Structure 1
């Protein structure tokens, strides 16, 4: 089996995501919380209609509003 056999099943981003999650899971609670905050990424998107930009939406902020 070659060292890059993961390529047959995952994209590189998926592979690194799985490896990062496995690494965070073995940390002690305090270090795990810090690592999870550092690993969190916020997605932003903007819809375009008829050649004009819509509002810029931050998914992290939208998710927080829904939880409240």
Structure 2
């Protein structure tokens, strides 16, 4: 059995954990704002009525990496 399966997580969660660990392990010269910005998430909500989309709203905006 795969390690991620035995840990009780999905493959996507496993891949995200690996990507985050790799970004955090980068040397300082490779650790740019563009790379660190990939480590943030945002959440949008958009309501649909009768096949027409309404205005998008941010539930949580992604914050810039420091």
TM-score band (shorter)?
Answer: 0.5 to 0.7
Structure (1 or 2) with the greater strand fraction = 2
Report the RMSD for the aligned CA atoms in angstroms: 2.8
Does the 8 Å contact 2:47/2:53 carry over to 1?
Answer: yes
Q: Distance in 2 between matches of 1:13 and 1:38?
A: 15
Q: Structure 1 length normalisation: TM-score? A: 0.56
Q: Using CA pairs below 8 Å that are at least 6 residues apart, which structure has the higher relative contact order?
A: 2
Q: Structure 2 length normalisation: TM-score? A: 0.57
Query: Which structure 1 residue ranges, 5 or more long, are not aligned?
Result: none
In the TM superposition, structure 1's runs of 4+ consecutive aligned residues that sit over 6 Å from their partners are none
Aligned length: 58
Name which one, 1 or 2, has greater alpha-carbon Rg.
Answer: 1
Structure (1 or 2) with the greater helix fraction = 1
Which residue is 2:13 aligned to?
Answer: 14
